[in-house]
């Protein structure tokens, strides 16, 4: 799946509530919170979009699998393995 967002989009400020000890340790380790959060959000959005797509297309996927099971693939007779 392609990205759902532009990497060139402008940044927007956001307020977050974080575990204070975790935040202190991240600051001590010089972790870039914005970059880390952006990567985490990209991963989560990607996973949820994948799940959403699979749910929306479950009937079509099932029908395609059933058709293949009942009639096999047209290329099956040409396989050499």
CA distances to 26, 49, 54, 57 from 60, rounded to whole Å, are 45, 17, 10, 5
CA distances to 58, 68, 69 from 63, rounded to whole Å, are 9, 9, 10
pLDDT in tens, 1-12: 566 678 889 999
Give all strands (DSSP E) within 1-81, no chain letters: none
Spans of all domains in the chain: 20-72
Question: Has this prediction a pTM greater than 0.75?
Answer: no
pLDDT of 70 higher than 60: yes
pLDDT value at position 76?
Answer: 72
pLDDT in tens, 10-56: 999 999 999 999 999 999 999 999 999 999 999 999 999 999 999 99
Q: What confidence category does residue 68 fall into, taking pLDDT thresholds of 50, 70 and 90?
A: confident
């Amino acid at each position: 799946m392609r990205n759902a967002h532009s990497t060139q989009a402008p940044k927007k400020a956001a307020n977050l509530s974080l575990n204070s000890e975790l935040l202190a340790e991240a600051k001590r380790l010089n972790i870039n919170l914005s970059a880390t959060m952006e990567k985490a959000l990209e991963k989560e959005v990607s996973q949820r979009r994948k799940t959403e797509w699979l749910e929306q297309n479950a009937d079509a996927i099932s029908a395609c699998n059933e058709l293949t099971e009942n009639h096999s693939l047209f290329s099956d007779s040409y396989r050499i393995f």
